[in-house]
Structure 1
Amino acid sequence: ESVLALDDSALDVDQVDNLIKICPTKEEMNIIMGKLTFDTVHDFMAAFCVSLQQFFMELMRVPRAESKLRVFSFKLKFNAQVSEVRESLNIINLSAEQASYLLSTVMKTVLSLGNALNQGTHRGDATGFRLDSLLKLPDSNDHRMSLMNYLCKALADKQPELLNFSKDLGSLQLMHASKLIVRSLEGDMHAIQTGLNYVVSEKKKAKKDGPVSRNFR
Structure 2
Amino acid sequence: AVERMDARLLTADQVQALRAYLPTDDEASALSSFQGDKSTLGDPELYFLRMMAIPMLGPRLDAFHFLLTFEQRVRALRASTAAVAGACGRVLGSRSLRAVLATVLEVGNALNAGTFAGNARAFRLASLLKLEEIKQKDGKGNLLQ
TM (normalized to structure 1)? 0.47
Counterpart in the other structure of 2:59: 67
Q: Is the 8 A contact 2:22 2:48 kept in 1?
A: no
**Are residues 1:87 and 2:88 paired?**
no
Distance 1:7 1:107, change over 3 A: farther
Q: CA deviation at 1:140?
A: 2.3
Counterpart in the other structure of 2:144: 148
Q: CA deviation at 1:142?
A: 5.7
Q: Is the 8 A contact 1:3 1:68 kept in 2?
A: no
Q: CA deviation at 1:5?
A: 5.3
Q: State percent identity of aligned pairs.
A: 29
Counterpart in the other structure of 1:26: 25
| Partner amino acid, structure 2, of 1:30 | S
Q: CA deviation at 1:94?
A: 1.7
- Compute the RMSD of aligned alpha carbons: 3.6
Counterpart in the other structure of 1:38: 39
Q: CA deviation at 1:74?
A: 2.0
Q: Which of these two proteins has the greater Rg computed from alpha carbons?
A: 2
Q: Is the 8 A contact 1:111 1:128 kept in 2?
A: no
Q: CA deviation at 1:112?
A: 5.8
C-alpha separation in 2, matches of 1:69 and 1:12? 11
Distance 1:36 1:142, change over 3 A: farther
Q: Is the 8 A contact 2:31 2:49 kept in 1?
A: no
SS at match of 2:10: coil
Q: CA deviation at 1:120?
A: 4.4
TM (normalized to structure 2)? 0.65
C-alpha separation in 2, matches of 1:75 and 1:29? 27
**Are residues 1:129 and 2:130 paired?**
no
| Partner amino acid, structure 1, of 2:101 | M
Q: Is the 8 A contact 1:137 1:146 kept in 2?
A: yes
- Structure (1 or 2) with the greater helix fraction: 1
Unaligned runs of 5+ residues in structure 1 are 150-217
SS at match of 2:97: helix
| Partner amino acid, structure 2, of 1:28 | E
